[in-house]
C-alpha cells in the first residue's frame, strides 16, 4: 500500500482510488486531464471520457473514496 505520508504515496493512492471507484481503464486514466473532471449538481463527473475503441462514456457521480480522502 502506498505511504500516505509521502507526496508520491498520496499520488499513488489517488490513482488507485480513481481506477477502482470509477472503473477506469489504465489508458483512460493516463489520458485524463484535471480540467475534464467537472462538478454538476453537487456531484463530480467525468463527461465524455473517450475510452476503448474511441467510444465516449460518462462517469457519473464521483464521490471521493475513503482512500483518497484520507490521503489529502
CA angle, residues 34, 38, 39, in degrees to nearest 5: 135
Q: Mean of the pLDDT values across residues 48-62? A: 80
pLDDT of residue 4 exceeding 60, the answer is: yes
d(CA 70, CA 38): 21
Model pLDDT for residues 17-40, shown as the tens digit of each residue = 888 888 888 888 888 888 888 888
- Taking the domains of the chain in order of start, what are their residue ranges? 7-64
Q: Is it the case that residue 68 has pLDDT exceeding 70?
A: no
CA dihedral over 26, 5, 2, 63, signed as positive or negative: negative
Q: Is the pTM value of this prediction over 0.85?
A: no
Amino acid at each position: 500500500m502506498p505511504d500516505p505520508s509521502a507526496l508520491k504515496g498520496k499520488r499513488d493512492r489517488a490513482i488507485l482510488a480513481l481506477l477502482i471507484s470509477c472503473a477506469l481503464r489504465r489508458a483512460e486514466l493516463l489520458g485524463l486531464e484535471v480540467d475534464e473532471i467537472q462538478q454538476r449538481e453537487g456531484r463530480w463527473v467525468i463527461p465524455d471520457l473517450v475510452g476503448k475503441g474511441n467510444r465516449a462514456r460518462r462517469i457519473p457521480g464521483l464521490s471521493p473514496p475513503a482512500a483518497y480522502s484520507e490521503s489529502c
